[in-house]
Amino acid sequence: MGSRVEISNEGGYRSDGRRQFELRDITINLAQQGQADGSAIITHGLTQVLVSVFGPREAKLRSQTIHDRASINVEVNVAAFSTGERRRRGRGDKRVLEIGATIKSTFEPVVQTMLYPRTQIDVYITVLQQDGGLLQACINGTTLALMNAGIPMLDFVCAVTGGVHSTSPMLDLTTLEENDVPHVTVATMPRTGKVALVTMETRLHVDRFEEIFRLAGEAGKVLHREMKGAVMARTSTLATAMGRQRSVDKDGDEQMHE
């Protein structure tokens, strides 16, 4: 007996009331988190990740230093409570390591590492809630956290998951949809139009791929506006706060420490 939830119904609504090309609600929080040099909490619907960036700083291990550029170290930690079923994922979990490796290779060409030779940039990702689109949330969060840390980058990296249900494409899938529908995650650099990452774990027909790839690129641009807005807002808060010389911010959620 198949699932009794319809992925897309006759009226064109998905199981959560969105239409084909509607992305889930996004909230971005760029407030200071503890000791981190830059951090971001990003929420796509019910998927939430916290990304903290440390560095550039001296590499802990000599063997990891690269003489002409900074090395990026990504560690992913999936909270046991992030899914409905409590499940511990250790450090050595293959899926978690793979996400880390994917993010590392995505950002290496985007971050201007040659500006900081012999240093290390640490990216710690904590997955707080999961409901599909985990990789996309991790990539978007990392972009924002790196920006927040003031690390020079060539462009934003915006990732979106796209899938196809029978013949109709759809964007930003939930877990429910990811289980039923072949999907692909595309990370683009909206300003240059370059593609930083395409990854796919399910089988998708070639004829459909082109369409979804294009749509995911378009959706990347939409996300870019949202992310850029958040970064601008954060920067302007910071700038006004600095202008006022150590005055307490109205929101109270952030304070300037020199």
Counting contacts by CB under 8 A, is residue 215 touching another protein? Answer: yes
Is residue 7 within a helix (H) or strand (E), and if so which, with residue range? none
Q: Count Cβ neighbours within 10 Å for each residue of 240-258 and write b for 16 or more, e otherwise.
A: ebeeeeeeeeeeeebeeee
Q: Which of 29, 31, 32, 46 binds another protein (CB under 8 A)?
A: 46
Region of 96-104, 119-127, 167-175, 249-257 interacting with another protein (CB under 8 A): 167-175
Residues 6+ apart with CB under 8 A from 199: 102, 135, 184, 185
At residue 175's C-alpha, the angle toward residues 173 and 179, to 5°, is 95
Counting contacts by CB under 8 A, is residue 21 touching another protein? Answer: yes
Nearest in space to 198 (alpha carbons), one of 139, 144, 112, 142: 139
State in angstroms the smallest separation of the CB of 203 from another protein.
8
State in angstroms the smallest separation of the CB of 177 from another protein.
11
Question: Interaction with another protein in 176-205: which residues (CB under 8 A)?
Answer: 176, 205
Q: Which two tokens stand for residue 152?
A: 């020079």
Counting contacts by CB under 8 A, is residue 222 touching another protein? Answer: yes
User: How far apart, in whole angstroms, are the C-alpha atoms of residue 166 and residue 27?
Assistant: 31
State in angstroms the smallest separation of the CB of 151 from another protein.
26
Q: Which of 93, 98, 226, 249 binds another protein (CB under 8 A)?
A: 226
Counting contacts by CB under 8 A, is residue 207 touching another protein? Answer: yes
Q: Give the residues lining the site for another protein (CB under 8 A).
A: 4, 9-13, 15-27, 45-46, 84-85, 131, 166-167, 171, 174, 176, 205-208, 215, 218-219, 222-223, 226
